[in-house]
Amino acid sequence: MASVGRNDSFAISLSDASGSPVTHLDPGTYDIEVRDLSEMHNFRLHGPGVQQATAVGNVENVVWTVTFADGKYVFECAAHPSSMSGWFTVGDVAPTKLAAAVGPKRSISLKPKITEVGPATITVNDRSRVDNFHLTGPGVNKKTAVVFRGRVTWNVTLRPGTYSYRSDKHKSLRGSLIVTLPA
């Protein structure tokens, strides 16, 4: 069930039959009961092969029949997307690949600088015995050891927001990664 704007609150949710928030679904056809409870807000759902929305300015109860395929889906209020949004994955989603490096001299990097939510594989090339690579942000806190040198791979799930990376030994070595919802 999809719900938005109960008592004109800035709340939006998509839950399964048991009431749990939807984070992952198998591909297939689903009926979604949509309760757009506020004239201020709407419920918009988009992703591969799906583009649905209730109207802002209306209170609506509708049922959408949608077919989800492998990929990432976003739901949001079109009037307030920055504060009212969510996302989930369907089926197999290939992880985004990111490349992190620290050293050999005083350098640190993570590429790309902006990426999408979802599963990600981060390859860390730690080329320094005096610095490490430490990534923190929504749901993630991972680091290499300062004395360690070598290559490691981290599998993480990136959520919307800003992640920070740094060396724990030299505060000037740092940067950030911005994670966005699919457009």
Is the CB of 42 or the CB of 167 nearer to Cu ion?
42
Candidate list 37, 45, 74, 77; residue touching Cu ion; CB under 5 A = 77
41 contributes a contact to Cu ion by CB under 5 A: yes
Cβ contacts of 119 within 8 Å, gap of 6 or more: 89, 93, 94, 95, 96, 155, 156, 157, 158
Question: What is the token pair recorded at 76?
Answer: 């949001």
Nearest to 50 by CA among 38, 35, 65: 65
Q: Of 17-25, 41-49, 65-73, 115-123, which segment contacts Cu ion by CB under 5 A? A: 41-49
Candidate list 79, 116, 125, 182; residue touching Cu ion; CB under 5 A = 79
80 contributes a contact to Cu ion by CB under 5 A: yes
The CB-of-159 to Cu ion minimum distance in angstroms stands at 20
The CB-of-79 to Cu ion minimum distance in angstroms stands at 4
Question: What is the token pair recorded at 66?
Answer: 């949608």
Written as one string, the DSSP assignment of 43-67 is -EEEETTEEEEPPTT--EEEEEEEE
Question: Which three-class secondary structure state does DSSP give residue 8?
Answer: helix
- Whose tokens are 């704007």? That residue is 5
Q: Of 78-86, 114-122, 141-149, 157-165, which segment contacts Cu ion by CB under 5 A? A: 78-86
CA atoms within 13 A on the CB side of 77: 26
The CB-of-116 to Cu ion minimum distance in angstroms stands at 22
The CB-of-38 to Cu ion minimum distance in angstroms stands at 7
Applying CB under 5 A, which residues contact Cu ion?
41, 77, 79-80, 84
